Amino acid sequence: MELDKMDENDWKYHGEGNKSLVVSHVQHPRVLRLLKYPAEDSENPPQTAEQAYRQIQNIVDFSSNVMSSLLGEKFIHSGEVVKLPLEFVRQLSIKVQHQRPAWRCDKVMDIYSGCALCLPNLTSPALHQPTHTPPLCIEIKPKCGFLPSPKHVSKDIKTKVCRYCMHQHYKVANGKWKRRSFYCPLDLFSGNRQRMHFAIKHLIEEPQNNFKVFKGGQCIYSSKEGSDESPDMNSLLHHLRPYFLHANNRINSHVTSKAVLNDFIQVLVNALLSSGGGDGGVVADRQAEGRSFCEASIFNKERIRHGSRGLPSDSVLFRILQTQMLDTLDIEGLYPLYRQVEQHLQDFPKERTRLQIEGPYNEAFLEKLQKCPAEDDGSVEYAVAKVRALETSVGALFASVSH
């Protein structure tokens, strides 16, 4: 990018989360991720430009030095920090404001620091060779793929029903979503093709904000929070049909919608189980631990024709699951440790640097994370390591799988 020639008209609103807003370039496969802060701080930014730069650089360092080692370099894009012209940022903020969801407008885009994270736009990948059909990008937020150990939870239900399925009832009750999703993460992470097919089918039927389909960079299938309307499955199948006309040796254009959907799901299952180029070994199934089935899943265990072999050890789902499982304590076991760290830093504020609370996220940080003792020795170092393990686990929890 030529930073001195930035034009807000070359960028469009792409989406946003709780802490950042993303815009994408209209021609090049690039996105900018900009910080947000509460609207009441719009006149007085909560941090300096230098602090904003450090915050974004920490994101890059954490991604490249920690998440990259845990998930694998081939699955991570860390991006780079860029310093943008302030006038460009201000005009961009004005341009995208009317496109933002109303419920997100309690926060505003950072227009004072000029700092942003530049990343490749995976919804519009640059292809080495032109194709007759635009590339498809499938975004999946798989959620937590295991049940917590009974050692650290007080409610027996938490060892039987996964967090996602419990939250579904809560989110429908408070009106965030109109319908419950029957997707269960434990089915997706099972490594069993039948269960994975079942999970993805229900993820497509009720995607909420966990499943999106992009075609040539444009979102063609997703859900809107609080909407009474179901996503248009027929429209999705219409878009997908040209990609599957010749699947399974078909030579005519008459393909049923059911066949297109099944072929599409099969492609996703194959991609999620594919080896990333390593040994491709298969891990033991977690069924022996009693943590591989969620009682809220409507998948009938009796339907399994072949036993689950587990996930290939070089697949993206296995990497995500292993990183999620760094959180061995669940929130009930972790909260007392969090309070211990909080109190320690209040008593000894200079310890923030030694304990690497705000980084740097380097090899030493990763080593502390991986070499944390299994049992609590009462030290603040143990407490800090477990709190950071949860943060890393949450990063994997919300990791998007794009193909």
Question: Cα–Cα distance between 247 and 251 in angstroms, integer?
Answer: 9
Are 281 and 312 within one domain?
Answer: yes
Do both 347 and 388 map to the same domain?
yes
Examine residue 3 and state whether it is found in any structural domain, yes or no: no
Is the pLDDT reported for residue 233 higher than 70? yes
CB atoms within 10 A of CB 199: 26
> In residues, how long is the chain?
403
**pLDDT at residue 403, rounded to an integer:** 42
Distances (CA, A) of 90 to 86, 112, 247, 320: 6, 8, 48, 37
The CA–CA distances, whole Å, from 325 to 61, 175, 294, 370 equal 22, 31, 16, 12
* For range 227-243, the mean pLDDT: 89
Residue 63 one-letter amino acid: S
The percentage of the chain sitting over the pLDDT mark of 70, rounded to a whole number, equals 88
**195 has pLDDT over 60:** yes
Place of tokens 């320690």: 344
Give the pLDDT score at 307: 57
From 307, 322, 337, give the residue that closes a domain: 322
What per-residue confidence (pLDDT) applies to 247?
Answer: 61
- The whole-number average pLDDT for the span 252-266 is 87
3-state helix, strand, coil in the chain (%, to 5): 45, 15, 40
Contact between 335 and 156 (Cβ < 8 Å): no
- The answer to whether residue 128 sits within a structural domain is no
Instruction: State how beta strands 80-83 and 115-120 pair.
Output: antiparallel
Kindly indicate the confidence band of residue 284, based on its pLDDT and cuts at 50, 70 and 90. Answer: very low
Q: Quick one: which of 19, 33, 272 has its CA closest to 138?
A: 272
Pair 30, 64 in one domain:
yes
| Same-domain pairing of 304 and 201 | yes
The β-bridge partners of 81 are 117
pLDDT value for 388: 87
Q: Are residues 229 and 108 in the same domain?
A: no
Q: Is residue 229 part of a domain?
A: yes
Q: Does any domain span residue 56?
A: yes
Domain for residue 126, yes or no?
Answer: no
pLDDT of residue 390: 82
Same domain, 241 and 343: no
Q: What is the pLDDT of residue 309?
A: 65
Residues 6+ apart with CB under 8 A from 268: 138, 140, 200, 403
The reply to whether 26 and 83 lie within a common domain is yes
What is the count of structural domains for the chain? 3
Q: What is the pLDDT of residue 3?
A: 72
Check residue 178 and give its pLDDT: 86
Together in a domain, 352 and 314 = no
Instruction: Calculate what percentage of the chain has a pLDDT beyond 90.
Output: 60
For residue 46, whether the previous peptide bond is cis, meaning omega lies within 30 degrees of 0, is: no
Q: Which among 62, 91, 120 is the end of a domain?
A: 120
Which tokens is 63 given? 């991604």
- Please state, in angstroms and as integers, the Cα–Cα distance from residue 298 to each residue in 174, 199, 233, 263, 311, following that order: 23, 10, 21, 22, 21
Q: Mean pLDDT across the stretch 122-132? A: 75
DSSP letters for 325-360: TT--SHHHHHHHHHHHHHHHHHH-TTHHHHTTBTB-
Establish if 313 belongs to a structural domain: yes
**Last-in-domain residue among 59, 88, 120:** 120
Q: What range defines the domain where residue 38 resides?
A: 8-120
DSSP characters over 114-137: -EEEEEE-TTSPPPSS--SSPPEE
In angstroms, rounded to a whole number, what is the distance separating the alpha carbons of residues 225 and 202? 17
Structure confidence by residue, pLDDT tens digits, 21-59: 999 999 999 999 999 999 988 788 889 999 999 999 999
- pLDDT number for residue 397: 52
pTM: 0.87
220/137 Cα distance (integer angstroms): 10
CATH of the domain at 90: 3.30.200.110
pLDDT, mean of residues 12-20: 92
Regarding whether 157 and 272 lie in a shared domain, the answer is yes
Residue 329 pLDDT: 87
Looking at residue 327, its pLDDT comes to 85
